[in-house]
Every structure is written in structure tokens, then in C-alpha cells.
Amino acid sequence: MKIAKGEYVIFVDPDDWIELETCEKAYNQISKNGDDVLFFNSKTIDEKGNIKDINKKLEAYSEHLDGKTFSLKEIKDNFVIKKLACWTKMYDMEFLRRNNIVFQKFRRGEDFLFAAKVYLYAEKVSVLNLPLYNYRDVLPVYVNKEMCNLEDTYIALKDSYELVKQTPNNSYILKYFSVCYIDYVISRYINMSKLCKYDQQVQLYNLSKDFIKYINKELNLKDYYKEIDIIQYLCFLAFPKAFIYNFIVSFIYSDHGHIVFNLGFMKLKIRIFNTKRKR
């Protein structure tokens, strides 16, 4: 970033790619609007090069927001805080420099604090409801990279959370960050533990559990039980060992307002609330 000469910048992971028209379409909108940040959608690509998923998180808002400039503080359901990553966005370089938004010197999670500052400081943003970024989802490669610098991720998460927590008048955004952090830590453990050696799984579990306990001090759980996987969350708080957690959650989990008991030969669902979990 120190050597960047242009007015705007896009970040791309080394194993991902953008569409041929990404820079043109993003530049046309962000320069026309004078935005600090422009958000766009992405496609997830599997190991065979097939489209696994098209991210449509902006689609529900495109009728009202597509191409228009607004402030994140105006949005009650803060749809953009789903992934604390720097990609799927174009940034005004002057906005980044003015607010000292730079990457932390970590090998993993280096963009968490970057993303938090962007969400907190951006005054003018807009959305472009097009999948202009291609995210390569190859889990074994991802796991190997993550396990090499495991502690970095959790230090970066805490730094990011502390920034949001200490920001004045933060209630409009703290809840969305908290839900995002909890979802990230739980899903990260579930996905990575399947491919880890047991000693790595224990290390990953302990770091995840410590972070869940850390963030739990600040939460009123009654405000979050419809937003997060409450069973997984409570299991992290309750069970000191990874193998106990793994055993319990293989039999019981939450799914769209139900507790599900997986008995092998049958599944028993019990409804615990009416509102579907928001993802």
C-alpha cells in the first residue's frame, strides 16, 4: 500500500482471481459516487474449478441501495459484516491513508483490524450487486496455511473486537461484529478440525474456546440466541476438552430454531423459537 500510486485499490488473495471487468465496473461506480468503499459480490470456486456458490448477500438490498451512496450507520441490518476480509471491495486510497487503515504484521488474520476500521470509519459507501470476485475454496490447502500461524488469527480477532468495543456510540455495529466473530470461530473449528491431527485439533479447540469465553463476558446472550449457533456456543463454554465437545455436538446441534438430536438411526427436532436464524 505504501507504494500504491492510484486513486483506488482492490485486494486479491494469491489463489483467487477477479473478473476481466471487475476494475472497470467498480471504478466507474466508486469514482462517480465519490465513495470511500464499494462493496460487490463473489463466487466460490471448488477444487475442480466449478462454481460452488454465488454470494448474493447484497441482492436483497440492491433495489434500494445498488449504485446509491449511503452510510453504514443508516443500515439497521448490517448486511456487509459477514466476512472480515478485505476482498470484494474497492477502496479510495485517500480514505485509507486519512484513517491510517493498514494491515497488521501477521501471517494470518492480518485483515481483521483493517476491515473493522473500514466499517467504523467509512462515511460514504455503495454496493454493486455483481459477482466480480472469485474465491477459491480448497479446504485442505486452507487448513495447512492456517495451522502454521494459528495464534495470529485469534490475536487479530481480539484486536479488531477491542477497537469496535471502544468506539463511542458503537451499539449500532457491535452486535453485528459479535455475531460475525462467533460464527467465524465456531465454523472455523468445525471445518478445520476434520482435517487436523489430534494435537492440532486440541490447540485449535483451546484457542477457539478461549476466544468464545473472552467475547462472552461482553454479551447479553438473550440478544444473540437467534443469531448464532447457540448449542455450539454453549458447548464451547461448558466443555474443557476437545474430545468431549466433538462427542456432544455429534449428537446435538441447532438448526433454524430447532434443537436437533442426531441418534444415528433417526433425528429428533424440537422447536425452541420461531424466528429463523439469520446468516
- pTM score, whole prediction: 0.79
Q: What is the spatial distance between Cα 163 and Cα 154, in angstroms, rounded to a whole number?
A: 14
Is pLDDT of 9 > 90? yes
Mean pLDDT of the chain: 78
Position 167 in a domain:
no
Reported as a pLDDT band with limits 50, 70 and 90, residue 21 is: very high
Assigned domain for 162 exists: no
Calpha distance 103→252 (Å, rounded): 39
| Res 184: pLDDT | 85
Give yes or no: residues 79 and 208 share one domain.
Answer: no
Q: What is the CATH number of the domain that holds 62?
A: 3.90.550.10
| One domain for residues 147 and 127 | no
One domain for residues 57 and 123: yes
Predicted local distance difference test score (pLDDT) of residue 141: 56
Instruction: Please indicate, yes or no, whether residues 12 and 98 belong to a single structural domain of this protein.
Output: yes
In this structure, is residue 170 part of a structural domain? no
> Is 255 within the bounds of a domain?
yes
The answer as to whether 169 is a domain residue is no
pLDDT bucket at 34, cuts 50 / 70 / 90: very high
Which of the residue ranges 52-56, 97-101, 239-243 would you say has the lowest mean pLDDT?
52-56
Which pLDDT score is estimated for 276? 43
Question: Residue 16 has what pLDDT?
Answer: 92
**Residue 95 sits in the same domain as residue 192:** no
Q: Specify if 31 maps to a domain.
A: yes
pLDDT tens digits for 193-215? 877 788 888 888 898 899 888 88
Task: Determine, yes or no, domain membership for 83.
Answer: yes
The pLDDT score that the predictor gives to residue 69 is: 77
Same domain flag for 217 and 122 = no
Co-location of 146 and 93 in the same domain: no
Number of domains in the chain: 2
Domain of 37?
1-137
pLDDT of the residue at 153: 84
Q: In this predicted structure, what is the pLDDT of residue 59?
A: 65
Are residues 5 and 102 located together in one domain of the fold? yes
- Give pLDDT tens digits for 225-279: 667 777 778 888 888 888 787 777 776 655 555 566 655 555 666 665 544 444 3
Whether 148 and 262 share a structural domain: yes
Question: Does any domain span residue 176?
Answer: no
Question: What type of residue sits at position 221?
Answer: L
My answer on whether 129 and 146 are in the same domain is: no
Same domain, 98 and 208: no
Of all residues in the chain, the percent with pLDDT exceeding 70 is: 71
pLDDT in tens, 85-94: 788 999 999 9
Sign of the Cα torsion 209, 212, 217, 221 reads negative
Determine the pLDDT at residue 274: 47
Lowest mean pLDDT among 30-39, 70-79, 129-138, 155-164: 70-79
Same domain, 110 and 148: no
